[in-house]
Amino acid sequence: MNRSQRITIGILSLIALTLAAALGVYAFGTLRNMAQTPLGPSLPFIPKSLPPTWTASPGPAPTQMGQVALVPTVSFPTSTPGPRCGAPPLMNVLVIGTDTRGDNYTYGLGDAIRLVRVDFTTPKVSALEFPRDLWVEIPHIEDNLNGQDHEKLNQAFLYGQPGFKYWDDPSEGSGLMALTLNRNFGANIDHYITVNMRTFEHVIDALGGIEVVIPNEEVAKTANLSVGTHLLNGPQALKLARNRSGGSFERGDNQNLVLCAVRKKLTSPQIVAQIPALIETFRDNIRTDFTPEQLGQLACLAPQMPPENILLASFPGDLFKQTRVFDPVFDKRIAILEADFTILSDFVVRFQAGTWPVPAAENTSSSIDTEDAPSICQ
C-alpha cells in the first residue's frame, strides 16, 4: 500500500468515525426527546393556590433610582440528601379510576379520586382520598347546563370527556377534575394518571393477581370477604375496590386495601424488574401526562420505599353530612355529601406541605381531635 492509498483510507476512516459520532449524537438526542415527551396532553396552567393564612412577606424598600439594595448572602454546604432517582423533590399527582367499562375514555365518572404526594427526598408517598359525592363547583359547565355550575365531584371527569366535552382542553376529564379540585380545595396538581376499569383488571392480571389482607370482622363485613389473606385476580380486585355496601367511606377503605396490595406486589423482587415492560405494555391504555423518564423515576423509587412511609389518608368522617339537593340535570333530589370546604382546604394545604397525615405513633398534637390516623401499607 503506497502513501497515497494510506492517506485515502485515513480520510475515509475519519469521515466514517465522524458520521458514526453524528449518528450517535442524533440517536441519543432522539431517545432523550422521546423520554422527555409527555405520553398525553399536559394539564392546563393552574395558578398555585396559597395557604389560607398566607400573607405577602415585606419586600426590600426601593431606593431613589428605582433600584433595591441587595444584601450579599453566603451559602454553606449541607449534608441534607437530595431527591432520588434523578427526580424533582416533590410531585403532586391526581390519580383517577374511572367507571368506563370499555377500552375507551369517551365517557365515565371519576369512580376513585386520589391526590398523591410523592416525596423523592424522604422518600415518602401519601395519598388523600376525595369523596366522589361532594357537591362542588365545576368550572366551564354552566353554559351547557343552563347556568348550573355545581354537580357531584365525580361528574367533573365526565363533563370533560369527549362524550360531553364541556370544556375545550386536550387534557379532557383529567384536566377538568384537576381544575375542580384546585377551585374548591386549593389542590396544586403537577400530573395525572387516569385508568379505566378494563385496564385496571388487565394490570392486576399482568401482576399475577394481588394478595389482599382482611384484618378483622368489621372490615370483612364491608369487603364481603372472610378474615385472612385472599389472592384476587383483576375482576375480583375491581369488585372489592368498587364495593360500597357499607357506604362511601367504607368503599374508600376497600380501595385502600387494594392499593396496599398493589404496592406490595410492585415492590416484590420478581416484579421490580418487569416494571419497565409493564409500563410499556399499558402506556397506550392509560391516560397520563407523565413522560417515560418520569415514569422511570417512579419505578426507581418504588423498591426504595419503606412500608411505613406509604400513608393512605381520608378526611375525618365527622366533617361530612349526608344530605340531598335538587339536581336540575336529573330533575330530582339526589344524595350528596356536605362539608365545610374551608376546613377541607386546610387539610389539603397541610397534606401538600407534608405535615399531615402522620402515623399515629408520631401524632402527638392534641389541637385537632378529628384527625384520624392514616392507614399504613405493611
> Would 215 be classed as within a structural domain?
yes
At 306 the pLDDT is 86
What is the average pLDDT across 156-181?
95
> Would 275 be classed as within a structural domain?
yes
> Would 135 be classed as within a structural domain?
yes
Number of domains in the chain: 1
CATH assignment of the domain containing 243: 3.40.630.190
At 19 the pLDDT is 61
What is the average pLDDT across 342-355?
96
Average confidence score pLDDT of the chain: 82
pLDDT band at 134; cut points 50, 70, 90: very high
What is the average pLDDT across 1-7?
66
pLDDT band at 26; cut points 50, 70, 90: very low
> Would 145 be classed as within a structural domain?
yes
At 1 the pLDDT is 65
pLDDT band at 268; cut points 50, 70, 90: confident
pLDDT band at 304; cut points 50, 70, 90: confident
Q: How far apart are CA 330 and CA 150, in angstroms?
A: 13
Task: Write out the residue range of the structural domain in which residue 255 sits.
Answer: 85-356
Q: How far, in Å, are 96, 150, 154, 375, 376 from residue 307 at the CA level?
A: 23, 39, 30, 11, 7
What is the average pLDDT across 79-89?
87
Q: Is the pLDDT of residue 377 over 60?
A: yes
Least confident segment among 58-62, 141-145, 177-181? 58-62
pLDDT band at 285; cut points 50, 70, 90: confident
Q: How far apart are CA 248 and CA 265, in angstroms?
A: 26
Residue type, 255: Q
pLDDT band at 73; cut points 50, 70, 90: very low
What is the average pLDDT across 116-129?
95
Q: Is the pLDDT of residue 65 over 50?
A: no
Q: Is the pLDDT of residue 129 over 50?
A: yes
> Would 206 be classed as within a structural domain?
yes
> Would 255 be classed as within a structural domain?
yes
> Would 283 be classed as within a structural domain?
yes
At 22 the pLDDT is 56
